[in-house]
A and B are shown apart, each in its own frame.
Chain A
Amino acid sequence: MSDDGDADRTRRFREAALPHLDDVFTLARYLMRDRADAEDAVQECFLRALRHFDSYRGPAMKPWLLAILRNVCKAEFARRAVQPAPPERTEEELAADDPSPWQEPQLSPEAELLRRHDDEAIRRLVASLPQPFRETIVLRDINDLSYRDIAEMLRVPVGTVMSRLARARAMLRARWTLEQGSAP
């Protein structure tokens, strides 16, 4: 390919991909926890995406980039997994850690949540959710992907996306309620 062709391709890629940088970075932050790791993952994501841009035929650019980012993060976790990982646990077991997904609060925690606008607290609680619930709620409620996009990205049926999202939101709400209960 000529230099001109390369330059043109890069230009098209930048125009298509760079507007989604914040979305990609956001998902990276929730997946990697460590900020520098997240930044590295985002950079690797964009480089890989450029390499595969010629074969890109869809889906929409945002879910495509997020899928690549997720693959980069997974590969990184796999690489790190030198120390024995905790035994695989089922989603049911993970969900069972939250024995009270639904508690009747004395105050409406949502009203409280709304009043305090405590963005940082919500962020922290979302980040505390176990996988795969965390990525599902981030993709839906923060990255604004449709159920179908999420299902394609995670390569699971839409029904699975729906049940994970229901669990994720129930856990998030329960944690919030708990936190409010124990707060001074």
Chain B
Amino acid sequence: MEQSPNLGPIAVEDALRDLQNRTLARLDGDLARLVYLASTRDYNTGRYAHDGLSFHYSESVAQEALATAHRGVFESLAVSPLRIVVANLEEYIRSGCAGPNELVTAWNASGAYRVLAPVSADSLTVKLFNSNIKVALAIVKAAWAEAQPVQDPQCASQPPSPAQ
């Protein structure tokens, strides 16, 4: 397939729609989308890369679309109420990347969530986002610890929901 010569805003919009429909829509919740979009960024250069998008459009269009989507998802989640952040975190845990205890411990220990913000985000928004995730982790951990002794072992990977 030939690469589109169009590098203007319409191409970026197309690529953004493509990314939204084919990839982001399949992920459960904004936190999962944020983790995915942050992972498409090279931490050494700050550039985004996505083979499928680059193939259909161009590297620069793909880069711009990914950066725009990343900023959008981040800003939306950063100013969301804490209950939404907690619900997103639970949804992310339920999506099965790791067990709740494992994820909460790893995120708390490594501060992995601190790399989720885009470079262009302002420092106060980043601070608020990191702080909300930190508190959300504590809420999920506390709810999990409280429910664990009476929980059915078959449902051990499903944390109780304080956001409901």
A and B associate:
no
